Amino acid sequence: MALQTILFDFTLDAEKTATSSQRQDVARVVRNELEHVFSQLELAYSMESLDGGYFAVLHENKETIITCRIFQKGLLTINVEYYLADGKEPLMSFDTMRTMELILRQKLDSDRSKYLPPIKRGGYIDIYMTSSACMYTFSSPKVIASMQNERIIEYDIDTLVYEARSPFQKIQIMHSKTLGNMLILDELQNIAESDLIYTETLMGRGIENYEGKEICILGGGDGALLYELLKEKPKHVVMLEIDELVMQACNKYLNTICGDVLEKRKTEQYEIIVGDCVEYMKKFIADGRKFDYVFGDLTDIPISGAPIGECWDFIRTIFEHSFKLLKPDGKFLTHGNGTSCLESLQLFEDQLRLLKPKVKFTTSKAFVPSFMEEWLFYQVTFA
């Protein structure tokens, strides 16, 4: 059960909405059509003149409100909001929405129109996430933030499997009919059972040779990268993850992607250290420890107009420490962001070019099912 919000908008000739009387005429046309569509409702009709437009409430009761906004520049919007209880039929079918759009487009002589199917709000299960989400837990308690590029994705989520809040973030495991169980941190999608391609592209499966190599994973709390790397017979893997609760949740509800690697914190093949990755990197540097590969499975590239702020500072810190941990022929592998985030990807690459000693990088791409978009990955070595 949730509030259903259906949105319509129409572009009109601005000359037909320029005056108050013209906007009243447009509102009456809308009301007449709605009386046919919602014959079961007794439509009220109140109007108010606003700066640059007109606002009309065409129906309002305890469960349904229909409003119309007419802007002076020729934009008309109609919002239909109603509460839909479980098991009840929706107020409007898709056929009704489409028919109403087409009829009003004709009667209003609109050159462009659009309707959006119900946006479900206030339900117990949240089915909406943002694309190219930047999730920052960093494996460091000092910086926790989130950003996105303001595009909404609707998932076919049907079950909330797990929910808890750690000292660092809100943790959820939700089940999608097509993607399987999904790890969601602070309401941003991270990885799902469908996303083996993400892990394989990050590690360059079939391209990189991990046999007998020493590897450091920064972050990686879902366990997927560690699980897949161990199949490649490395000498040893150390993983630095700050959130114990994430690992417990993934071990129980996402073991199709992490196997049993999160059940133990130390074996002959690997060690999982729970704590601030930056502090442990400093310790490794002081001890002279070196790795063949360092994975940055932490922060996505911030979606921002300039490389400033705590998030970018953290990325630069990770760069600085990671290359001090790499052997001369070592490689730093990390994920970037959605390939549509061109400006932020360019900023990220600019930061790589500023590193001393100089580095060079290549990229690879993969469409990640649960992200519903193509993602960019980086492979960085000393120049």
Catalytic center residues:
297
Provide the H-helix boundaries in the chain: 20-37, 94-107, 196-203, 224-230, 244-253, 255-258, 277-287, 310-325, 342-353
Query: Which of 215, 359, 175 has its CA nearest to residue 297?
Result: 215
| Separation CA 328–CA 290 (nearest Å) | 9
Tokens of 281: 């990197």
Task: Kindly compute the dihedral angle of the four CA atoms of residues 25, 31, 33, 39, in this order, to the nearest 10 degrees.
Answer: -160
Cβ neighbour number for residue 167 with a 10 Å cutoff: 10
Cα 293 from chain centroid? Answer: 28
Q: Is the dihedral of CA 289, 295, 299, 301 positive or negative?
A: positive
Dihedral class, residue 57 (left if φ above 0, else alpha if ψ from -120 to 50, else beta):
beta
| Separation CA 227–CA 202 (nearest Å) | 13
Task: Kindly compute the dihedral angle of the four CA atoms of residues 135, 136, 137, 142, in this order, to the nearest 10 degrees.
Answer: -160
Task: Kindly compute the dihedral angle of the four CA atoms of residues 241, 333, 209, 247, in this order, to the nearest 10 degrees.
Answer: 20
Residue 99's contacts (CB-CB under 8 Å, 6 or more residues apart) are: none
At position 6, the amino acid (one-letter code) is I
| Separation CA 10–CA 12 (nearest Å) | 6
- Pairing label, strands 180-185, 170-176: antiparallel
Tokens of 336: 């970037």
On the 0-12 / 13-18 / 19+ scale of CB atoms within 10 A, 166 is: middle
